[in-house]
Amino acid sequence: MAQWGSEALLEVAGLRAGYGRRPVVYGVDLEVSPGEIVAVLGHNGAGKTTTLNAIFGFIEPMAGRVSLEGSEVTTLPAVEHARRGMTYVPAERFVFQDLSVRDNLLLAATQEPSPERRADHEHRVDALFPVLGERRTQRAGTMSGGEQRMLSIGMALMAGPRLMLLDEPSLGLSPLYVETIMDAIRTVADELRVGVVMLEQNVAQALRVADRVYVMRSGETIAHETAAQLRTREHLWDLF
Amino acid sequence: MTYWIDVLDQALIFAVFALSLNLLMGFAGQVSIAHGAFGAIGGYLAGYLAQEHGWAFGPALAIGVAAALVLGLIVSLPALRLAGEYLILLTLAIQIITLVVITSISALGGLTGLSALPGISLFGSTLLTPQDFLKLLVPIALAVFLLMRRVAGSPAGRVLRGIREDELATQSLGKDVFAYKSQVFALTAGLAGLGGVLLAYYNGVVAPGMFGFSVSMTVIVMVILGGSANLYGTLVGTALVVASGPFFQKAIKLSVDKSSLAQLVAYGVALVAVLRWRPQGIVPEGATPSALLRRMRPGGGMRVAGAAEQARGARVVAIGSGQPALALEARALSKSFGGIRAVEGLDLSLERGRITGLIGPNGAGKTTVFNLLTGALKPDHGTVVLGGRDITGLPPHLIARAGMVRSFQDVRTFGRLTVLENVMMGVAGQRGERMRVVLSPLPLRTGDRRTRDRALEWLDFVGLAQRADEPAGSLAFGEQKLVALARVLATEAEVLLLDEPASGIDRRWSDHMIEHIARLPEAGRTVCIVEHNLDVVQRLAHRICFMHEGSVTAEGTMAELSRQERLQEAYFGPVG
Amino acid sequence: MICAFIGIDSGSEVLQALVNGVINGCGYGLLAVGFALILSVTGRFHFAYALTYALAAFLAAVLERVYGLPFAPAAAAGLATAAVAGVACDTVVYRPLSDRAGSGAMLAVFVASLGIVIAGENALSLAWGPGPRNLTGIGSHSISVAGATLTTLDVVSVVVSVALSGGLWLLLSRSGFGRQIKAVRANAQMSTAIGIDVARVHTAVFAIGSLVGGVAALLYALKYAASPDMGENAVFYALIVTFLAVSSSSPLRLLAVGVGVALVERVASIWLSPQLSTGVVFVLLLAFLSHRSLRLALGGRSLSFNLARRRTIRGAAG
């Protein structure tokens, strides 16, 4: 378990959020440390995406606290979160389809002011996903789903983030791509000390690379264990 | 004095326009900028027949109104499946084209129009002065008001409001939404035609400028400013708008020309201001004299105790002997969306009087199945048989009437209707529900009371009877889900398809919901629920169907299914 | 003989119609470029485009004639006012309205923009009369090309339209800010996620769109005249071309569709009166909408049935 205080990258306490007046998430606590991958599992409609939206500032939490590296960001708009080193990759529509791979990556570097670091990030993306290096001028929408997903992770890296929020990175992908993506996420966390919050339906793959796991149901957390503990469970049906 | 009578006459004529537009826009939710054009049809046709062919007022009026009504019916055809911006554009195009066509027909006087309309002779005397016209206009305006009020207050009016709030939900309760829309378009167009005829005869002139885009906008302002979906509000709005003329001329002492410009500026500003700060208008929906009286009566006028006690808990749907054991049988259903096979060779059967669960990983196609079963989508292949009857390809409202209704994952309550009205919408076989109600003189009170009582029973069944008169949109989400449940129960359809009834609500509410759904089989219903929350499914379903990549691949109890490894793989992903 | 049968006097009449079609079409296309940019990037049905359009030309004419300004500053002032007015529509009316209205936002915005048009046009009439007013900018004389007559102003109009559309295309495809605009147009949520200030992009787009419309208005007024209600017709053309072009990504494609529409109109005017040939364009819009409706009917669905509601997400400027 991560310790409180200086170690924690992201701290979420008592989060209550929803749409309009209607709460969908009732009091969620969560924390991530640098280099840690935290998976959030749970059935569809459990409130996982809402939690992520609230953490990133797409929706304003109704109650609770979100802190990034000690400073509170709860009520700030999403743009501010991006500026402070958070990136968010949605479950669907996660690249700019009409633009080329290069334009996608360049855009994603909007928050990176230094050209040298930008070039650095680009090299790293190419190292992680060589296929993107070959397809710079191709329109993102014409690539396969797996390649687009790789691009989305690459885009997340272009701003040199400290925290990555990923919504179902494996959605709609074939098993081979899912493994590649998961491995890449693990590499990013290890080498760059980036903290990762990953929502997933593909439990098996998520457990392979995650450090800790939260399980949500009906807007609340019903379990918080290490991935190792969860892996040893006989079956997972009762968590969903 | 004559000046003010003239103003009053104009207000009465415009009231005819505005009241009918309110029925179309405020109640039925169809935004139309073509009202001026329909007025032009009426005014020009009647004026032409009177001026060039010497027709008397009565027949000319009748033809004018009929022509506008027919045009309204024709226009409604493409409008049926359009909404929002596209509908506005369609009506805008109609407005423009109508006037363009009229001004290019030389027999109608081109840009100057017809200027020698004969007077109206009523019972021997000719109408000349504004005072004379009062004798004609007051009865007509009053008649239009009473007619609109009757429609608006009838069960048909309730359906129109349902269409405004959520067309899909209304259709899924068994209402033929397209029929309602075309009928209300035709009716209101005809009334606009009436207004056009009156305007023409009053001015003695028919000119294109009388029915242009600004006029359509002016009538819209009357409706929105006064209060959409409130006919009394429309009277207020019309009065204010028409009074702005005298205001600018007398109080601010502008010339007549400048005053008409200033009025239009005021209308535009008023429209933006109302939309921005008071979208419900001056007199909001529901603020009618009868509603106020009802609220003042002790107990709010609800009679929960008497009606509900009799059928405490449920109204048992009779299961006759000799009916098939399978309430619903779907065979080999397939549906593709542009190359993606959402549903492929799907077989699904629901045992009568049982709860069947439908589960599967995300993207397996569960909601698509519901859409196919209820007619919201047409299957590419396959059949759906309901209680022995083939219902494949029928539209949603007919399937609902045949005995299968669904609830929605995102609830879709009619927010601006009261909780009770929501449930009343579901009650089957209501009298006065068709638009024909405008023609029938029969009282609607007794029929509606019966509907109210039935609806209250169902509301009581889900435990929300005390919230009956509150607007549904003000309830908590969990409560709205219960209202939606009561609504589908009120249809007395035997087969209920519940789409994620327990999602988006916390444990306390989902327990409530489970409690109510669990009681449905003993009331004779057959239920199928789609759920992602496996805990809920396990507690409710007698039998569970597992859906994966477009078809049902396994059936059984939760225990049986969870023992199968390949299902575990499908649901949670292949273990590495 | 065929010509006589279908009522055309000579081949030169057809050529003239074609030439006029291209000239007018560039105007329609330019109109659509500004309108489509605003619609595709912000999602707002900015009917008040009619007002910003009229503002540019009418104000320029007033400044020229009533206050004696030379053409260039008058035109510049008109364009600047149009840009400011366009931005004001968004910040003062559309944004607060759509924040409040939730799912009914697009409709409320449309109706509000209708109110803005009515108020604005009549305010202009109140202040400076209903016009029409002439705009004397640059001299113009007739020229003859292969038997068809046109003016130097026509040539200038076509060149300006093409240049402006091309310039916008360059901005979108080559510059950093243009990339941001395209990003917001494609996916507002992702744009926010990567740190683009969507509100700022919206403001810029409203300004650019209004400027483009303003230029189209000036070109029109130079040839004909300016009046407060000149925008009503113009915005209908903008709408028609935008919808017929379907994909509103490319300024050059919009220009082409604009020319197409104008050609239909010009050819129709060989047989029909000018008024009716304008009506033909609206019949086109009507046909488009009916076809849409029919296609939905055959597919068993309807534009009002969205089977999955969208949620409001901050920062996506919905």
Q: How far apart are CA C254 and CA C244, in angstroms?
A: 9
pLDDT of residue B88: 84
Q: Look up the domain containing C172 and give its range.
A: 29-132+150-258
> Does some domain include residue C313?
no
- Cα–Cα distance measured from residue B134 to residue B117, given in angstroms and rounded to the nearest whole number: 19
Q: Nearest-CA distance from B548 to chain A in Å?
A: 13
Model confidence at C162, in pLDDT bands (50, 70, 90)?
A: very high
Please give the pLDDT value at position B429. Answer: 77
User: Which of B255-259, B428-432, C165-169, C185-189 has the weakest average pLDDT?
Assistant: B428-432
Sheet strands (E) in B326-366: 326-337, 340-351, 355-359
Distance of residue B75 Cα from the nearest chain C Cα, in angstroms: 10
What are the phi and psi torsion angles at B164 (to 5°)? -65, -45
Per-residue model confidence (pLDDT) at position C110: 87
Task: Write the single-letter amino acid at C196.
Answer: I
**Confidence (pLDDT) at B436:** 74
Which residues 6+ apart lie within 8 Å of C22 measured at CB?
Answer: C158, C259, C262, C263
The confidence score (pLDDT) of residue C5 equals: 55
CB distance A57–C315 less than 8 Å? Answer: yes
Nearest-CA distance C69 → chain B (Å): 27
Mean predicted confidence (pLDDT) in A55-75: 93
Q: Which of A49, A237, A238, A239 to mutate to test the interface with B (most CBs of B within 10 A)?
A: A237
Look at residue A20 and give its three-state secondary structure: coil
Interface of B with C in 96-155 (CB under 8 A): 96-97, 100-101, 103-104
The ipTM value here is 0.86
Q: Identify which of C118, C307, C308 has the shortest CB distance to residue B217.
A: C118
Summarised one tens digit per residue, pLDDT across range C66-96 is 898 899 999 999 999 999 999 999 999 999 9
Nearest to residue C211, comparing CAs of C27, C12, C41, C53? C53
Q: How many CA atoms lie within 13 A of A20 on its CB side?
A: 13
Within a domain: residue C282?
A: no
Average pLDDT estimate for B563-574:
78
C276 closest CB neighbour out of B104, B168, B262: B104
Q: pLDDT at residue B323 above 80? A: no
Q: Which positions ≥6 away from A56 have C-beta within 8 Å?
A: A78, A81, A86, A88, A165, C193
Residues 375-404 of B with CB under 8 A from C: 376-378
Give how far A231 is from chain C: nearest CA, Å.
Answer: 33
Cα C137 to chain centroid distance, Å, stands at 22
Count Cα neighbours of B180 within 13 Å in the Cβ-side half-sphere: 29
Distance between CA atoms of A190 and B32, rounded to whole angstroms? 60
What's residue C315's pLDDT? 30
CB contact under 8 A, C115 and B271: yes
Task: For residue A61, name the pLDDT band (cuts at 50, 70, 90).
Answer: very high
Judged by CB atoms within 8 Å, which residues 89-118 of C form the interface with B? 93, 96-97, 100-101, 106-108, 110-112, 114-118
Residue C14 has pLDDT above 50, yes or no: yes
Which residue among A90, A99, A111 sits closest to C189, beta carbon to beta carbon? A90
Instruction: Please tell me the predicted confidence (pLDDT) of residue B321.
Output: 47
Q: Which chain C residues are Cβ-neighbours of A79 within 8 angstroms?
A: 192, 195-198, 315
Q: What CA–CA distance (Å, rounded) separates B298 from B301?
A: 7
Judge whether B473 and B413 are in contact, CB under 8 Å.
yes
Q: Which residues of C touch B33 (CB under 8 A)?
A: 114
The lowest-confidence range among A52-61, A223-232, B180-189, C282-291 is: C282-291
State residue B360's pLDDT score. 86
Buried b (16+ CB within 10 A) or exposed e, B489-511: bbbbbbbbbbbbbbbbbbeebbe
How far apart are the C-alpha atoms of B226 and B220, rounded to whole Å? 10
* Residue partners of B335: CB distance under 8 A and separation at least 6: B341, B342, B343, B368, B372, B377, B379, B380
Q: Give B560→chain C minimum CA distance, Å.
A: 33
* pLDDT exceeds cutoff 50 at C218: yes
| pLDDT > 70? residue C305 | no
Task: Give the integer Cα–Cα distance in Å for B91 and B268.
Answer: 19
**A175 → closest Cβ in B500, B506, B574:** B574
C-alpha B575/C-alpha C262 separation (Å) is: 62
C-alpha distances in Å from residue B48, one per residue of B64, B196, B199, C55: 10, 13, 14, 39
- A107: nearest CB among C183, C249, C314: C183
pLDDT at A148: 94
* CA within 13 Å, CB half, B36: 25
| pLDDT at C247 > cutoff 80 | no
Q: Which two three-digit tokens encode residue B26?
A: 């405020």
Using one digit for the tens of pLDDT, what is the confidence trace for B31-77? 899 999 999 999 999 999 998 898 888 899 999 999 999 999 998 98
- Using a CB–CB cutoff of 8 Å, tell me whether B364 touches chain A: no
Q: How far is CA A161 from CA A35, A39, A75, A117, A153, in A?
A: 12, 18, 20, 12, 11
Q: What is the mean pLDDT of chain A?
A: 90
Would you call the peptide bond into C132 cis, given omega within 30 degrees of 0 as the criterion? yes
- CA dist., res. B482 & res. B467, Å (int): 12
The predicted-structure confidence for B454-512, as pLDDT tens digits, reads as follows: 999 999 999 999 999 899 988 988 899 999 999 999 999 999 999 999 887 878 888 98
By Cβ distance, the residue of B532, B534, B572 closest to A204 is B572
Sheet of A71-72: strands edge to edge?
A22-32, A10-19, A63-68, A71-72
Q: Which pair of structure tokens corresponds to residue A9?
A: 């990258």
Cβ neighbour number for residue C136 with a 10 Å cutoff: 12
Give the one of B83, B85, B93 whose C-beta lies nearest to C45's C-beta: B85
Q: Do B562 and A237 touch (CB under 8 A)?
A: yes
Average pLDDT over residues A88-110: 91
Residue in chain C closest to B371 (alpha carbons) equals C307
> Given the DSSP bridges, would you call strands B526-530 and B355-359 parallel, antiparallel or unpaired?
parallel
Say if C211 falls within a structural domain.
yes
Residue B364 · residue B547 · CB < 8 Å: yes
- The ranges assigned to domains in chain B are 2-212, 328-572
Does the pLDDT at position B24 exceed 70? yes
Residue-wise pLDDT tens digits, C114-141: 999 999 999 999 999 887 888 887 777 8
B341: left (phi over 0), alpha (psi -120 to 50) or beta: beta
Per-residue model confidence (pLDDT) at position B502: 87
B131-153 pLDDT tens trace: 888 989 999 999 999 999 999 98
* Chain A residues 16-75 with CB within 8 Å of chain C: 19-20, 53, 56-60
CB A41 within 8 A of CB A215: yes
- What pLDDT score was predicted for residue B438? 67
Please give the Cα distance from C143 to B475 (Å, whole number). 72
Closest residue to B506, CB basis, from A178, A218, A235: A218
CB of B532 within 8 Å of any CB in chain A?
yes
For chain C, first and last CA: distance in Å?
59
- Per DSSP bridges, beta strands A163-167 and A86-89 are parallel
Radius of gyration of chain A (CA): 17
How many other C-beta atoms are found inside a 10 Å radius of the C-beta of residue C209? Answer: 28
Determine, for residues C195 and A83 on separate chains, whether the beta-carbon distance falls below 8 Å: yes
Distance (Å, whole) CA B534 – CA B361:
11
Q: How many domains does chain C have?
A: 1
pLDDT at C299 over 80: no
In a domain, C20, yes or no: no
Which of C118, C239, C303 comes nearest B268 by C-beta? Answer: C118
A-proximal residues of B, 500-519, CB under 8 Å? 500, 502-507, 510
| C292 lies in some domain | no
When mean pLDDT is compared across B57-71, B301-315, B527-541, C44-58, the lowest value belongs to: B301-315
Distance CA(B31)–CA(B234), nearest Å, equals 16
The Cα B315–Cα B305 span in angstroms is 16
Angle between helical axes of C11-42 and C49-65 (0-180°, round to 10): 110
Instruction: Determine contact: B564 vs chain A, CB below 8 A.
Output: no
- List the single residue in B476, B533, B568 with the smallest CB-CB distance to A218: B533
List the structure tokens of B217.
């906008």
**Which one, of B45, B39, B19, B66, lies nearest residue B193 by Cα?**
B39
For the ranges B23-32, B102-111, C102-111, C308-317, the lowest mean pLDDT is seen at C308-317
Decide if C182 and A93 are in contact by the 8 Å CB cutoff. no
Bigger pLDDT: C294 vs C172: C172
Q: At B298, is the pLDDT very low, low, confident or very high (cuts 50, 70, 90)?
A: low
**pLDDT of C6:** 57
pLDDT at residue number C102: 66
Residues C194/A107, Cβ–Cβ less than 8 Å: yes
pLDDT at position C316: 31
Give the residue on B whose Cα is nearest the Cα of C304. Answer: B83
DSSP B417: S
- Structural domain includes residue C145: no
B154-208: per-residue pLDDT in tens? 899 999 999 999 999 999 999 999 999 999 999 999 999 999 999 999 998 999 9
What is the C-alpha to C-alpha distance for residues C91 and C86, in angstroms, rounded to an integer?
9
User: May I ask the CATH class of domain B328-572?
Assistant: alpha beta
- Which residues from A are below 8 Å from C194, CB to CB? 82, 87, 107-108, 110-111, 155, 159
C303 pLDDT tier (thresholds 50, 70, 90) = very low
- Tell me, yes or no, if C307 comes closer than 8 A to chain B by beta carbon: yes
Distance from C-alpha of C10 to C-alpha of C283, rounded to nearest angstrom: 27
Tokens representing A55?
A: 């953490």
How close, in Å, is residue C164 to chain B by CA atoms? 28
Q: What is the pLDDT of residue C228?
A: 94
Residue A214, pLDDT above cutoff 70 = yes
Q: Which residue has the higher pLDDT, C8 or B132?
A: B132
Q: Is the minimum CB–CB distance between C284 and chain B shorter than 8 Å?
A: no
Instruction: Give Cβ neighbours of residue B501 (< 8 Å, ≥ 6 apart).
Output: B407, B481, B485, B513, B517, B529, B531, B536
Give me the pLDDT at residue B333, please.
92
Count, residues in chain C: 318
pLDDT of residue C268: 82
Looking at beta carbons, which residues of chain C come within 8 Å of A87?
A: 193-194
Looking at every residue in chain B, the average pLDDT score rounds to 87
> Which residue of chain B has the CA closest to C237?
B93
Query: Cβ contact (<8 Å) for C189 and A58?
Result: yes
Structure tokens at B546: 């597992």
Band of residue C313 on the pLDDT scale cut at 50, 70, 90: very low
B171-209: b or e for each residue (b if 16 or more CB lie within 10 Å)?
bbbbbbbbebbbbbbbbbbbbbbbbbbbbbbbbebbbbe
Mean pLDDT calculated for residue range B300-306: 46
Q: Which of residues 217-256 of C touch A (CB under 8 A)?
A: 249
Most confident of A25-34, B308-317, B532-541, C268-277: A25-34
Q: B104–C118: do the CB atoms touch at under 8 Å?
A: no
Residue A179, chain B, CB below 8 Å: the answer is yes
Cα dist. C146→C13, C150, C269 in Å? 12, 11, 21
From B138's Cα to the closest Cα of chain A, the distance in A is: 46
By C-alpha distance, the chain A residue nearest C100 is A20
Helix (H, G, I), strand (E, B) or coil at B532: coil
Coil vs helix vs strand at A120: helix
Within 10 angstroms of residue B1's Cβ, the number of other Cβ atoms is 7
Cβ pair C186:A90 closer than 8 A = no
In the numeric block, the tokens 């409202």 are attached to B397
DSSP 8-state symbol, B466: G
Nearest CA in chain C to B93: C282
Over 50: is that where the pLDDT of C189 sits? Answer: yes
The alpha-carbon radius of gyration of chain B (Å, integer) is 28
Least confident of B135-144, B335-344, B458-467, C172-181: B335-344
Determine the residue of chain C that is closest to A108 in CA distance. Answer: C194
**Distance between CA atoms of residues C238 and C255, nearest Å:** 11
Q: Report the residue from A24, A175, A235 with minimal CB separation from B504.
A: A24
Q: Where in B73-132 does DSSP place strands (E)?
A: 120-122, 125-127
- What's at C211, amino acid-wise? L
Question: Which tops the pLDDT comparison, B127 or B139?
Answer: B139
CA distance C72 to C54: 17
Neighboring chain A residues of C313 at a CB cutoff of 8 Å: 53, 58-59
What domains lie within chain A, and their CATH numbers?
A: 5-94+165-239 (3.40.50.300)
**B533 neighbourhood in chain A, CB within 8 Å:** 43, 45-46, 217-218, 240
Q: Is residue C268 part of a domain?
A: no
Show Cβ contacts of residue B525 under 8 Å, excluding neighbours closer than 6 positions.
B317, B353, B489, B494, B495, B496
